[in-house]
Amino acid sequence: MNADLIVALPEITLLSLACLVLIVEAFSKDPLHLLTYWTAQASLIVVLALTVFYFPENAQIAFHGSFISDAMSTVLKAFMCGISFVVFLYSHEYLKEHKCLRGEYFVLGLFAVLGMMIMASAYSLLSVYLGLELLSLSLYAMVAMKRDSSSASEAAMKYFVLGALASGMLLYGISMIYGLTGSLQLLTIADTINVDAANRMYLVYGMIFMIIGIAFKLGAAPFHMWVPDVYQGAPTSVTLFISTAPKLAAFAMAMRVLVDGLLPLISDWQSILTILAVLSMAVGNIIAIAQTNIKRMLAYSTIAHVGYLFLGLIAGTASGFSGSMFYIISYALMSMGAFGMVILLGRHGFEADMLDDFKGLSDRSPWFAFVMLCLMFSMAGVPPFLGFWSKWFVLKELVASGFVELAGIAVVFSIIGVYYYLRIIKLMYFDKPDSMTALKSSKQMRLVLSVNGILILLLGLAPNMLMSLCLAALSG
């Protein structure tokens, strides 16, 4: 049992520290909640250090096959902690500026990160579901935190109701798989499916319900209904959180369920993911063109990016899965910077969430206009930025696996998607600003956001390090 505890030490530590932050918040009288904030940030650093320190040479399975620590889970957990650290920094700036700072944000955020880490290491359908529910319940509460905002309350209700529906479908799929295979362990399920071909049709039914749950969590069309409304209605700090680290967890969930557990049904789930990918790319890229709210536009952009993420999974090879992992990490870094820019431009009583709020940004702040340009070019897939390589990676693997027509469709939708990213660049550099109000933010916010934007460019100029990391994480 001691060996099991060591394998899950980062998760156990995070649970303990999250409870500590909860106690600190309960007794703190500081209106700025600085002690809560710094304790939460220190918690993420400690967990990140433990995750890296206990990097497993070989996959280690614990708790009777319910939990696994391998290279993929460790890399994803490290990025979850690092991205959440930066997200908390941006969020503290936003919550402080908009006079809605509550320590509960950081407590719920830590519990959400715990749910993500459990999803990354889940090796049974039960632990997959427990991690997902811990993450989802934390996110529902975060969206609804701004109680005096009707749009936030409405977004939380939509998210909760649709999330409960998707969760029920996932649970129904799990029950079908369990009933047919007699096990919740992913490895045992895969072995049973290989042996028992008679129940294949019923297993596919169960798999379809499980894919619905995964597609909802990622925000893939046609299960994307919640994404635009939640992104727009939630406070920007919460939208920032939802759009970054939880996507890594959803990718991990897809890998565990589809690759570790249902790989014998690969031909079936490839067909389903192909439909979801095309729908997501079409819905995301086309509807984003009509948006005037940047949070809503980035929501449809998320839906489109999920379509590209699926391409690596459809390839069905270790390199294809690595491409999807590279894609989701790249997307999380880009999304973090984009919503960070929305927070930077806002101020008390004013949310910079309309596209027109970016008018003439090059006149107001040439440097941050350049940072936003790096982020938008990267999301559009323009070389030499990081987003180009993430698209190139998955498309290359897709073509290598023989899905040439699908790769062609993806390229067409990618070209369509360039339009709405270039529109923001046009507003920043070719339109006159409505006002010359100076950007108000702390030095640390400016520094971290600058590093975020430049990192997108530097990783694009030298993508091999991140690519090699993803390939190594999934080489087994």
Q: Tell me: pLDDT of 442 over 90.
A: no
Convert the pLDDT of each residue in 110-120 to its tens digit.
999 999 999 99
Distance, first Cα to last Cα, the chain: 26
pLDDT at 2 > cutoff 80: no
Average pLDDT over residues 66-91: 95
- The 3-state DSSP class for residue 99 equals coil
Nearest 5°: the CA angle 212, 213, 216 is: 85
Residue with tokens 């010359």: 436
Q: Does the pLDDT value for residue 178 go beyond 90? A: yes
The pLDDT of residue 433 is 82
> What are the residues facing 293 on neighbouring strands?
354
DSSP tag of 262: S
Lowest-confidence segment of 112-121, 144-153, 295-304, 372-381 by average pLDDT: 144-153
Q: How many CB atoms lie within 10 A of CB 428?
A: 24
Determine the structural domain holding residue 296 and report its residue range.
2-473
- The answer on pLDDT for 327 being more than 70 is yes
Alpha carbons within 13 A on the beta-carbon side of 367? 10
Q: What confidence tier does 57 reach under pLDDT thresholds 50, 70, 90?
A: confident
Query: How many CB atoms sit inside 10 A of residue 430's CB?
Result: 10
Q: Report, as an integer, the average pLDDT of 311-338.
A: 95
User: CB–CB of 300/287 below 8 Å?
Assistant: yes
Q: 354 — alpha (psi -120 to 50), left (phi > 0) or beta?
A: beta
Count of domains observed in the chain: 1
The pLDDT value given to residue 196: 76
Residue partners of 196: CB distance under 8 A and separation at least 6? 180, 181
Which pLDDT band, with edges at 50, 70 and 90, does 101 fall under? confident
List, for residues 21-33, the tens digit of each pLDDT value: 999 999 888 887 8
Render 317-341 in DSSP notation, one character per residue. SHHHHHHHHHHHHHHHHHHHHHHHH
- Give Cβ neighbours of residue 370 (< 8 Å, ≥ 6 apart): 453
* Stretch 16-20: mean pLDDT: 96
SS3 readout for 109-148: HHHHHHHHHHHHHECEHHHHHHHHHHHHHHHHHHHCCCCC
How far apart CA 291 and CA 259 sit, in angstroms, is 36
Q: Which residues, at least 6 apart from 190, have a Cβ–Cβ distance to it below 8 Å? A: 260, 261, 262, 263, 264
pLDDT score at 334? 96
Report, as an integer, the average pLDDT of 61-73: 92
What is the number of H-type helices and E-type strands within the chain? 21, 2
Question: Structure pTM?
Answer: 0.95
Least confidently predicted of 162-176, 185-199, 381-395, 399-413: 185-199
Which SS3 state, helix, strand or coil, does residue 348 take?
Answer: coil
Q: Is 331 left (phi over 0), alpha (psi -120 to 50) or beta?
A: alpha
In the chain, % of residues over pLDDT 70: 99
- Mean pLDDT along residues 436-464: 89
- Give me the helix-helix angle, 71-97 and 443-461, nearest 10°: 140
**Dist. CA 217–CA 220, nearest whole Å:** 8
Residue 301 confidence (pLDDT): 95
Give the mean model confidence (pLDDT) for residues 324-343.
95
> pLDDT > 90: what percent of the chain?
79
Secondary structure element (H or E) that encloses residue 364, with its range = helix 361-364
pLDDT number for residue 476:
56
Is the per-residue pLDDT at 153 higher than 60? yes
Instruction: Say how far residue 132 (Cα) sits from the centre of its chain.
Output: 13
| pLDDT category of residue 270 using cuts at 50, 70 and 90 | very high
Structure confidence by residue, pLDDT tens digits, 218-251: 899 899 999 999 999 999 999 999 999 999 999 9
Q: What would the pLDDT profile of 283-317 be if each residue is shown by its tens digit?
A: 999 999 999 999 999 999 999 999 999 999 999 99
Higher pLDDT, 379 or 103: 379
* 95-99, 347-351, 391-395: segment of lowest average pLDDT: 347-351
Compute the mean pLDDT over every residue in the chain, rounded to the nearest whole number.
Answer: 92
Of the candidates 288, 268, 265, 277, the residue with the CA atom closest to the CA atom of residue 223:
277
Q: What is the pLDDT of residue 416?
A: 94
Q: Which amino acid type is present at position 182?
A: G
Angle at 78 between CA 72 and CA 81, to 5 degrees: 135
Whether 413 and 304 have beta carbons less than 8 Å apart is answered as yes
Sign of dihedral through CA atoms 435, 436, 437, 440? positive
Sequence letter at residue 54? Y
Q: What is the pLDDT of residue 353?
A: 83
Q: 392 versus 346: which is more confidently predicted? A: 392
